[in-house]
């Protein structure tokens, strides 16, 4: 049953991305249907594995946060616009719970990471063709995306969304290549695939993607240095940190020095790399609209999807495009769901970061004692999940990747690994928390 659920997760994630990332409701509903089938099938699972207290707290904050989204969507003033957030929140919660309570084996999670890495390589190949042609080419003729010229988009209709996917895939792939217990040839292959995905991210011309990749690599370097220190190699840890710092500096210089020269042929990439004033000033003005929107209903927000209205109402006259999204997931969350939604998100995000950090320390200690033995799989996935979370969190400051179903489902998979990283954890004691019968009812339904 667990393998079947894993297959359904892969079908939902890959299928949603193939259809423009599920940006339109008609393209995301098939994936949601597959996930709903997986949720129903999980009820008949006979496995009963106890969960740790840390995982239980993560589940509780997830239910609170996504419960706020669902309730506000149900009572939103515009029911049609609210459907997007409602269906997406339910789908994300299904992915999250299936990963936390069902797909807990590192081997199975590695399989899904491998599928996503292959998808990233295919995205890069398509993006390279889009870069070369410089037109609106898309893999499927019935899907069209115009206005981005030579910037790589892959299966997505927007290069920024492709960057949001690739930056997380690169973090997971590099972590597996460095710290998993796979054979050397497998780790080299995964490392090459991750490097290819990194090239694809460069071709997107996404500044947010560049910042996210740099942030993720820094976290990867720091966690790797700590792991090396656990294994008694402090000098190697210092050398790694210095190498990453030099590498990022060289990478930033090369982007500024090389891409502007290439952009004389590729006008669309030139408009991104040269940081033209019109582009630079666009996002802060959209953010200002979201802040004004949040002042209308500070506590509960104005309702799901209502930035479509208020972004137009408070739009700066210099912006001639239609501001459908605020280009900042956090400010749009604040405007549409108010302080309640923002606090729910902070609890959810902070709890999962703490859970991942504690799991890293626990697994790294066992990893050091065993010399990279049985904990290699768990610690590699935990490091990758932490780095991927930081990367997408940075990118979400300047884009709306968490409103794109394909990327949001992927991020739910990553957060699920932080909530329940696998390996040995302290088991849950039913007497530790009141209302434990309801918790075990939830565990019965999804576990």
The pair of three-digit structure tokens given for residue 28, joined into one six-digit string: 């995301």
More confident residue, 401 or 260: 401
How far apart are alpha carbons 94 and 398 in whole angstroms? 27
pLDDT digits (tens, 9 = 90+) for 317-360: 777 677 789 999 999 999 999 999 999 999 999 999 999 999 99
pLDDT for 139 equals 82
Whether the per-residue pLDDT at 440 is higher than 80: the answer is no
For residues 90 and 312, the answer to whether their CB atoms sit within 8 Å is no
Give me the chain's average pLDDT, please. Answer: 82
The pair of three-digit structure tokens given for residue 406, joined into one six-digit string: 């394909």
How far apart are alpha carbons 372 and 48 in whole angstroms? 29
How far apart are alpha carbons 447 and 93 in whole angstroms? 14
pLDDT for 320 equals 65
Closest Cα to residue 167, out of 324, 388, 328, 1? 388
Largest CA distance in the chain: 67
More confident residue, 306 or 265: 306
Q: Which residues pair with 427 in a beta bridge?
A: 52
How far apart are alpha carbons 364 and 372 in whole angstroms? 9
For residues 368 and 230, the answer to whether their CB atoms sit within 8 Å is yes
pLDDT for 178 equals 87
Backbone angles phi, psi at 160, to 5 degrees: -65, -35
Closest Cα to residue 140, out of 21, 13, 9, 269? 21
pLDDT for 123 equals 95
pLDDT digits (tens, 9 = 90+) for 190-219: 999 999 999 999 999 899 999 999 999 989
pTM of the model: 0.85
């Amino acid at each position: 049953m667990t393998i079947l659920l894993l297959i359904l997760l892969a079908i939902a994630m890959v299928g949603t991305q193939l259809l423009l990332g599920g940006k339109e409701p008609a393209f995301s509903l098939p994936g949601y249907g597959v996930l709903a089938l997986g949720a129903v099938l999980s009820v008949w699972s006979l496995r009963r594995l106890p969960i740790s207290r840390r995982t239980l707290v993560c589940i509780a904050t997830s239910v609170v946060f996504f419960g706020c989204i669902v309730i506000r969507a149900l009572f939103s003033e515009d029911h049609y616009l609210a459907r997007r957030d409602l269906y997406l929140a339910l789908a994300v919660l299904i992915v999250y719970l299936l990963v936390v309570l069902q797909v807990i084996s590192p081997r199975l999670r590695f399989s899904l990471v491998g599928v996503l890495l292959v998808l990233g390589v295919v995205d890069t190949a398509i993006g390279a063709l889009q870069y070369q042609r410089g037109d609106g080419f898309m893999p499927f003729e019935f899907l069209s995306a115009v206005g981005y010229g030579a910037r790589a988009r892959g299966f997505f209709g927007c290069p920024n969304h492709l960057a949001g996917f690739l930056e997380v895939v690169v973090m997971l792939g590099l972590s597996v290549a460095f710290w998993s217990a796979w054979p050397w040839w497998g780790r080299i292959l995964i490392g090459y695939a991750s490097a290819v995905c990194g090239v694809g991210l460069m071709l997107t011309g996404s500044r947010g993607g560049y910042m996210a990749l740099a942030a993720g690599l820094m976290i990867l370097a720091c966690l790797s240095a700590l792991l090396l220190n656990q294994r008694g190699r402090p000098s190697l840890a210092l050398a790694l940190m210095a190498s990453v710092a030099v590498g990022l500096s060289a990478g930033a210089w090369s982007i500024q020095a090389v891409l502007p020269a290439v952009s004389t042929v590729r006008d669309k990439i030139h408009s991104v790399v040269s940081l033209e004033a019109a582009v630079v000033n666009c996002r802060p003005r959209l953010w200002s609209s979201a802040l004004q929107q949040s002042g209308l209903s500070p506590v509960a927000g104005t309702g799901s999807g209502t930035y479509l209205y208020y972004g137009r109402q408070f739009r700066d006259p210099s912006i001639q495009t239609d501001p459908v999204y605020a280009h900042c997931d956090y400010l749009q969350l604040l405007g549409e769901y108010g302080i309640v939604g923002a606090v729910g998100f902070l609890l959810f995000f902070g709890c999962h970061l703490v859970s991942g950090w504690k799991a890293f320390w626990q697994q790294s200690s066992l990893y050091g004692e065993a010399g990279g033995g049985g904990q290699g799989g768990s610690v590699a996935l935990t490091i990758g999940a932490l780095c991927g979370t930081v990367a997408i969190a940075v990118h979400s400051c300047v884009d709306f990747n968490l409103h794109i179903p394909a990327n949001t489902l992927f991020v739910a998979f990553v957060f699920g690994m932080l909530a329940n990283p696998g390996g040995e954890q302290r088991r849950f004691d039913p007497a530790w928390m009141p209302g434990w019968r309801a918790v075990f009812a939830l565990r019965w339904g999804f576990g």
